[in-house]
Each structure stands twice: as structure tokens, then as C-alpha cells.
């Protein structure tokens, strides 16, 4: 049995909205046959999040649960209310572990569903002659509102619209009628209103009412209102992904690797095998100041040159017992599994951490996908999926906010 999933939904007075939410939860449950999946609501529907959590934690396996907020943005419910509900549940079941997953966000699958809903409302209209009014909830959290405006802008960039206006149904501005007025003043006479809502409910109702009232007052304009996201596979898949993202990755025992930073200056590191894998890893070891001894009958050109330059010591012969003496760290990366197994076994006996390149579960260390910039090093270890780790590392450094965090700290310092 896998860890139970609590889907933290908003809740609604609207019977249809609640039914659609429940059918979405069933769809998610169908995608996670090994896990108990239950709904908990922030308000207006039953059970509450602490009630739902307490029930699965008391009955379920291992006193663990994952909470996925069924929320598009990062407003107060995601930042404060749900964490408080989790804390409340932990008071009832103190030994429990509850992981709080990320909100749904602008996942490409959800953006694509929204695009479909908008296209259905657009019907026979030409987007180039139509203005899209993209309505969000509005929150006290500036970031959440800015995210909504960003998403509206993405629809402009990708949709071929005459124009796109972002609007908010509550809390902040422009309101929906204000955004419709702006568009009208700019010449728009065909408007599609998309309320960025998950399910039917009051927000959808207000969107329709306000759009109709505005259209009645503007006889030269036509307004079409798009449907909500609703219960669909894409939404369920994003919920399942958020759930899975919180689960620990599987090293040999199923526990995640313990990430650390080795300080290798002048410490002996033994690399057995001098092919492509070693050629990728040895330069990084040398960058870290390690004293590298390379053991292999044949070495790639690059490694040969490093040996000739005196950057490392190369012993051009097969591995033999005793080669790991004094080593702090070892790499077994020959193309012979039996040799790699011997290196790993000798390292184990010496308490030397050792990477086994051909069969990682039989080693005691893994090589991270890493990069350093501005004195900050990032190491990513995945679930024996090196390409994914590399992609995650690259995404971290491609992120503007990460670079800002690294370099603004440098200038402040
Ligand atoms: C991240 C990176 C760091 C680095 O090496 O510097 C790294 N592997 C990279 C590339 C890569 N590895 C492989 C291919 C071939 C193509 C393919 O299959 O996709 C490519 C792609 C290529 O070469 O382009 C094959 C492969 N890899 C492992 C096994 C054996 C096994 O899993 O049991 C096999 C099958 C061997 C076989 O079939 O015999 C095992 C491991 N590889 C790890 C790290 C460790 C943690 C990984 C993680 O976080 O998930 C781990 C678990 C242990 C370890 O070896 O340390 C680096 C990319 C960084 C960058 O590009 O900058
Ligand atoms: N972990 C990873 O990221 C990763 C990536 C690709 C491949 N691999 C695996 O790693 C292993 C090595 O791959 P490669 O592409 O570097 O191989 P390669 O064929 O390029 O190099 C193998 C090296 O091992 C040396 N060698 C052979 N027998 C030896 C012995 N008895 N003692 C010492 N050295 C010996 C060879 O001289 C050569 O230098 C393979 O088993 C491959 O399946 C791992």
C-alpha cells in the first residue's frame, strides 16, 4: 500500500461544483490504485482537511500522508490555511509524517486545457479580432496576482488574440467589469471571458452574471464565456504528479541519498577504469583538489594527457587488491562488471565510499549532476535517472530567481 493522498480542495455551496470535484478525486484514485485517496475541504464542504487527515493517519499504513492542494495559484489557502490544517492534524496524530505537495500552478497540461476551453467559447470568431479577458480569483498575496497576469500574457503570446486583459473577481483590480470597460475603450467588440476556475461554483456564477450584465449595458459588444477546467484527465495527472513529487526516491534500500559536500583537497581518490565515464568525472575531481590515482590498462586521450601533464597519477595496469589503500573515495568504472564488483567490495571493507558506474545499487555513493556558479554548488541526485537529474540541474541554473538569489547575495555581501 502506498502513502495515502489527501486532495485539499476549496469546497463550495454549489452542488454541481462539489459533484465535479468528487468525480475528479475518483479519477485520481483510479490512477493511484495502491493508495487511499480522499478529499478534504478548506471550507463549505465536508470533511474538513484535519478530519480527512486524521482518518487516514489513524487507519492508514505507516502514519504517513501526502496533501496536494487542489489550487491553481499560491494564495492564502496554499500558504497559510492548509499548512495550519496540517499542523492541526499533527496535534491529533503526533507521530505522523505529512508531506505538503506543491500547488497545481501553470502546469503545461492545465494551460492546454484552458486553451481548449477558450477555443470552445471562441467558436467561429477570429481570435485576431477578439479580446480575451482572463479572470482570476485575486489574492492578498502579490505574487499570486502577478502569476495570474503572467499567465494571461502567455495566452496573448500564444493565442493570436487582438488583445488579452487580466482581471480579478475579488480582492484586487481590475475587476471583470473594469477589464471589459478597458477592452471596450480600446475598441474591442468581440470578447471571450475565461474564468480560471477548476470547478463550477460561485466564482463561475459571478463570472457569468457580471459578463451578462456588462453585455446588456453594451449592445454593440458581444461576450462569450468559457467553461471551467472541470473534471478531466489532465487535471488528475497533475494532482498525481504533485503527489509523486513528494515521495522519497529509491536508492538501494529505498531511502534517499544523503547529500553532502566532500572537501577533497589533497585527499586520495582512486579511479578504476579510464574510459568515457571516468573521462567525464575525473576533471571535476581534479577541480575539487583531489589527488587522483587512475588505474586502467588503457586510458582515453584526455585522461592520458592529464597524466602526462602530471595532473594525476596513472597506473597503466589492471586493478589489484590493495589499490584502494588510503583512498577516501573511489570510482569503479571499468567495462568489466566483475572488476567493478571487486572494487566495490574492497571499498566496502575499507569504509571507503565508492561509486559503481555499471550497477549503482551495489555501490555506496552516487555521482550527482552538479554545477557551480558564484561560489554556490548545486548537486542533483535522482532515482537512477541521470538524464532527468541533468535536466533538473540545468533548469535550476536557467531560473532567473535562482541566479538572482545567488548573485544578489554576492553583491549584498
Ligand atoms: C548525472 C551524471 C553525473 C556524472 O556522471 O557526472 C550521472 N550519470 C550521468 C550520465 C549518464 N549515465 C548513463 C548514461 C548513458 C545513457 C543513458 O542510459 O541515459 C548517461 C548519459 C551520458 O553519458 O550522456 C548511464 C548510467 N548511469 C548509471 C548507470 C548504472 C545504474 O543506474 O545502475 C547507467 C547505465 C550503465 C549501463 O547501462 O551499463 C548510474 C548513475 N549515473 C549517475 C550520474 C548516478 C546518479 C544518477 C541520478 O541522479 O539519477 C548513478 C546512479 C551512479 C553513478 O554512476 O554515479 C551524468 C549526467 C550529468 C551531466 O551530463 O552533466
Ligand atoms: N554511471 C554512468 O553514468 C555510466 C554511463 C555510461 C556507461 N556506464 C557503465 O560504466 C562502465 C564503463 O563505461 P565506459 O563507457 O567508461 O567504458 P569504456 O569501455 O570507455 O572504458 C572502460 C575502461 O575500463 C578499463 N578496464 C577494463 N578492465 C580493467 C581492469 N581489470 N582494471 C582496471 N581497468 C580496467 C579499460 O582499460 C577502460 O579504460 C560500463 O559498464 C558502462 O555500462 C555508466
Measured distance CA(251)–CA(158) in Å, rounded: 41
**If you measure from the C-alpha of residue 332 to the centroid of ligand 2, how many angstroms do you get, rounded to a whole number?**
8
Q: What is the pLDDT of residues 124-143, one digit of tens each?
A: 999 999 999 999 999 999 99
Which domains, from first to last, does the chain contain?
5-105+234-244 (3.40.50.1400), 108-225 (3.40.50.1400), 268-362 (3.40.50.720), 370-412 (no CATH)
User: Is 285 touching ligand 1 by the criterion CB < 6 Å?
Assistant: no
pLDDT winner (highest mean) among 251-255, 261-265, 381-385: 261-265
Q: What is the pLDDT of residues 205-237, one digit of tens each?
A: 999 999 999 999 999 999 999 999 999 999 999
Sheet strands (E) in 175-290 = 190-195, 222-225, 268-272
* Non-local CB neighbours of 233 within 8 Å, separated by 6+ positions: 27
**If you measure from the C-alpha of residue 111 to the centroid of ligand 1, how many angstroms do you get, rounded to a whole number?**
33
Closest by CA position to 116, among listed 228, 242, 197, 274: 228
**Binning pLDDT at 50, 70 and 90, where does residue 61 land?**
low
Instruction: With residue 11 as reference, give the H or E element that holds it.
Output: none
Could you tell which of 386, 392, 394, 396 is best to mutate to test the pocket of ligand 1, judged by most ligand atoms within 8 Å of the CB? 386
Measured distance CA(54)–CA(302) in Å, rounded: 59
**Which ligand gives the minimal distance to the CA of 371?**
1
Residue nearest to atom 25 of ligand 1 (CA): 386
User: Is 319 touching ligand 2 by the criterion CB < 6 Å?
Assistant: yes
User: Is 359 touching ligand 1 by the criterion CB < 6 Å?
Assistant: yes
Q: What is the pLDDT of residues 15-34, one digit of tens each?
A: 999 999 999 999 999 999 98
**Which ligand gives the minimal distance to the CA of 275?**
2
* Non-local CB neighbours of 191 within 8 Å, separated by 6+ positions: 130, 131, 132, 133, 180, 183, 221, 222, 223, 224
Give ipTM to 2 decimals: 0.95
**If you measure from the C-alpha of residue 407 to the centroid of ligand 1, how many angstroms do you get, rounded to a whole number?**
30
Sole residue written with cell 594527457: 305
Closest atom of ligand 1 to CA, residue 284? 6
Residue nearest to atom 55 of ligand 1 (CA): 357
Could you tell which of 296, 297, 334 is best to mutate to test the pocket of ligand 2, judged by most ligand atoms within 8 Å of the CB? 334
pTM: 0.66
3-state secondary structure of 260: coil
User: Is 371 touching ligand 1 by the criterion CB < 6 Å?
Assistant: no
Amino acid at each position: 500500500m502506498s502513502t495515502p493522498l489527501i486532495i485539499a480542495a476549496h469546497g463550495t455551496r454549489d452542488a454541481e461544483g462539489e459533484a465535479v470535484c468528487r468525480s475528479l478525486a475518483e479519477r485520481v484514485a483510479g490512477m493511484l490504485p495502491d493508495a487511499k485517496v480522499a478529499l478534504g475541504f478548506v471550507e463549505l464542504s465536508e470533511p474538513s482537511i484535519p478530519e480527512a487527515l486524521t482518518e487516514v493517519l489513524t487507519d492508514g499504513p505507516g502514519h504517513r500522508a501526502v496533501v496536494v492542494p487542489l489550487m491553481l495559484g499560491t494564495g492564502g489557502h496554499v500558504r497559510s490555511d492548509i499548512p495550519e490544517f496540517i499542523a492541526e492534524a499533527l496535534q491529533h496524530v503526533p507521530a505522523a509524517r505529512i508531506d505538503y505537495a506543491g500547488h497545481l500552478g501553470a502546469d503545461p497540461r492545465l494551460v492546454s486545457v484552458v486553451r481548449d476551453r477558450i477555443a470552445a467559447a471562441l467558436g467561429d470568431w477570429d481570435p485576431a479580432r477578439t479580446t480575451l479577458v482572463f479572470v482570476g480569483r485575486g489574492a492578498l498575496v502579490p505574487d499570486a496576482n502577478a502569476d495570474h497576469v503572467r499567465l494571461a500574457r502567455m495566452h496573448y503570446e500564444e493565442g493570436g488574440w487582438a488583445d488579452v486583459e487580466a482581471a480579478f473577481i475579488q480582492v484586487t483590480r481590475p475587476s471583470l467589469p473594469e477589464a471589459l470597460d478597458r477592452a471596450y475603450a480600446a475598441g474591442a467588440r468581440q470578447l471571450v471571458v475565461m474564468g480560471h476556475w477548476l470547478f463550477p461554483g460561485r466564482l463561475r456564477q459571478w463570472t457569468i452574471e457580471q459578463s451578462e450584465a456588462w453585455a446588456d449595458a453594451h449592445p454593440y459588444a458581444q461576450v462569450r464565456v468559457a467553461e471551467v477546467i472541470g473534471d478531466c484527465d489532465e487535471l488528475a495527472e497533475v494532482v498525481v504528479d504533485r503527489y509523486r513529487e513528494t515521495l522519497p526516491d529509491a536508492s538501494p534500500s529505498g531511502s534517499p541519498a544523503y547529500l553532502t559536500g566532500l572537501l577533497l583537497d589533497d585527499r586520495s581518490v582512486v579511479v578504476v577504469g579510464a574510459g568515457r565515464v571516468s573521462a567525464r568525472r575525473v576533471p571535476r575531481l581534479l577541480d575539487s583538489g583531489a589527488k587522483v590515482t587512475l588505474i586502467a590498462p588503457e586510458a582515453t586521450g584526455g585522461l592520458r594527457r592529464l597524466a602526462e601533464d602530471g595532473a594525476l597519477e596513472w597506473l597503466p595496469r589492471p586493478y589489484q587488491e590493495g589499490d584502494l589503500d588510503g583512498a577516501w573515495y573511489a570510482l569503479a568504472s571499468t567495462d568489466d562488471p566483475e572488476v567493478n564488483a571487486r572494487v566495490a567490495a574492497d571499498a566496502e571493507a575499507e569504509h571507503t565510499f565508492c561509486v559503481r558506474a555499471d550497477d549503482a545499487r551495489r555501490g555506496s555513493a552516487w555521482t550527482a549532476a552538479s554545477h557551480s556558479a558564484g561560489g554556490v554548488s548545486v548537486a542533483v541526485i535522482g532515482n537512477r535517472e541521470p538524464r532527468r537529474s541533468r535536466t533538473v540541474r540545468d533548469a535550476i541554473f536557467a531560473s532567473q530567481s535562482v541566479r538572482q538569489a545567488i548573485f544578489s547575495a554576492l553583491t549584498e555581501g
